[in-house]
Copies of this chain bind each other. A is one copy, B any other.
Amino acid sequence: MSVTAPLGFRAAGIAAGIKKRQGPPDPANDSRDLALVVNDGPSRAAAGVFTRNRVKAAPVLWSAQVVEGGLVRAVVLNSGGANACTGPAGFQDTHATAEKVAEVLQDSAGEIVVCSTGLIGERLPMDPLLAGIDTAAAQLSRDGGVAAADAIRTTDTVSKIAFRRGEGYMVGGMAKGAGMLAPALATMLSVLTTDADLTSRELDEVLRRAVSVTFDRLDADGCMSTNDTVLLLASAASGVRPDLAEFERKVTEVCADLCRQLLVDAEGASKAIAIEVVGAASVEDAVDVGRTVSRSNLLKCALHGEDPNWGRVLSAVGTTDAEFEPDRLNVAINGIWICRGGAAGDDRSKVDLRPRDVTITIDLSAGPHSATIHTTDLTAAYVHENSAYSS
C-alpha cells in the first residue's frame, strides 16, 4: 500500500541505471533506483523535516526551500548516489532533476522535492537519471507505492511500507535506511502521504511531533547523515478534515511502524534493543541517557554476546549530565533487575538474552519522566558490511 494507500497519489519505481553495475544495462535484471511520488490533489499541502547535519547534500538544500513554500506536487527519489559534497555542480544536478520532473508533469519546479541516497562525494549520472524520470512518469499508477518503496533501497534487504486508517481518511508511508540511523534521522528517507485535508502549518506541527518521538529516537550507529528527509504530503482527496489529535496518532503510528522495520533491518544487527529510561527528571534527561547508552560500543558488543553486562550501562549513564545519584540507579535487562541502588541486584544468570528483542530499563530515580531509544547490537557483520565496500 505504501504512499499510494491514500487517495490522490500515484507512484512508480523503476531501474534507471544509476546504481553501479558490472557490464551493460539490463532492464530485466537491474535493480530499481528511481522513485516518483505524485500528489494529484486537490490539495498539495506538505511539510518536511531534514537532517540537522551542517554538511547537507544538494537535494536537502533544494528540498528544504521547496517545503518552506508549503506546497509539494511531487517527490523524486534516487538510490545509487547521495549527491552530497558535490559542490555547486551537484546543486545544479538537483535543480535539473526537479526541472525535468516539472516538465513531465507540466508543473512548477519550485514544488518538486528531490531526495538522494547512496555514496557521498560522487556526482550522479545525469543522463540515465533524467531519462529514468520519463520512464517513471509513464509508469505512474495508483498501485505504484510498493515499487517506489523498492526503488529507494540501498543496503536495505527489504522495502519498508506502512499505513493506518483514520476516520474517513488514510495515512501511508515508505522509508529506507539501514546504516546511518542516528541522532536525528540518518540516511533515512521517508515519504508519508494522506488524503485528509490539512494545511501546511498543521502538517508541519504534526510531523515534527511525530518525528521527535519516532525517527529521532532511533539510533543504530550514532552516525548522522547528510541526506535525511521525512516528508508528509496531503492530497485532501478524501474531503475529510480530520480531528488533529487522532491524525497525529495515526501519523505517529505509521512513523513508529516504519522505524521498527528500519531497526530490524539495520546493517548486520542481530538484536533489536529498546533502551527504556524511566524515573527521569525531564524527558530531555531521559532521551539524553537513552541515546548515550545506545551509543556504547562496549555495551552493544556485550549484548551481541548475550552478556547482561549492566556495568557498561552504568558507565555510560555516568558520562551524561542528567539528574541522578549513582547509588540510586536501577537497571533491568529483559525484566530482571540486575542492578539495584547502583550495585549488583538480582542474579544475572536469570537474564535470558537469547531472543532478538532486548529491553534495557534504566530507572534514574530522579523524577516522573521517561523515553525509549531504539538501537541495535554491534556485530562483526556490521563491521564487514561497512568496511568491505564504499557506501
Contacts and interface: CB of A to CB of B under 8 A. Distances in A.
Interface of A: 52-56, 82, 84-87, 89-90, 119-122, 179-180, 183, 221-226, 295-298, 301-305, 307, 309-312, 314-320, 324, 326-327, 329, 339, 341-344, 378-380, 382-390
A386 B390 CA distance: 26
A30 to B, nearest CB: 24
8 contacts: A54-B319, A55-B342, A120-B314, A179-B298, A223-B296, A223-B312, A297-B386, A379-B383
A55 B120 contact: no
**Main SS at interface, chain A:** loop
Contacts of A390: 302, 307, 309
B121 A311 contact: yes
A286 B86 CA distance: 24
A20 to B, nearest CB: 14
A366 to B, nearest CB: 13
A240 B319 CA distance: 41
A77 B385 CA distance: 41
A122 B344 contact: yes
B380 A384 contact: yes
Contacts of A54: 317-320, 324, 326
Nearest to A378: B383
A58 to B, nearest CB: 10
Given A301-B387, A315-B53, A344 B183 contact: no
Nearest to A342: B85
Contacts of A52: 319
A298 B180 contact: yes
